[in-house]
Amino acid sequence: NSGRRAEHDFSALSIAFQKADIVVRSQFSLGATEQAFLLSCILEAGGKNAMILSTCNRTELYCSGLSMDDMRNLFLRSTGASIEVFERVAMKYHRFQAIEHLFNVGCALNSQILGDTEISGQMKRSLLHSKAAGIDTRWLERLVSGVLRCSKRVKRETGLSYGATSVAYSAVQYMRESFVTLEKK
Instruction: Show which residues are catalytic.
Output: 56
Distance CA 36, CA 54 (A): 12
- For 107-171, the DSSP string reads TTSSSSSTT-SSHHHHHHHHHHHHHHTT---HHHHHHHHHHHHHHHHHHHHH-TTTT---HHHHH
Contacts of 101-105 with CB under 8 Å at 24 or more apart are: 101/12, 101/14, 102/12, 102/62, 102/143, 102/144, 102/147, 103/146, 103/147, 103/150, 105/53, 105/58, 105/60
Number of C-beta neighbours around residue 63 at 10 A: 30
Using CA atoms, how far apart are residues 158 and 29, in angstroms rounded to an integer? Answer: 32
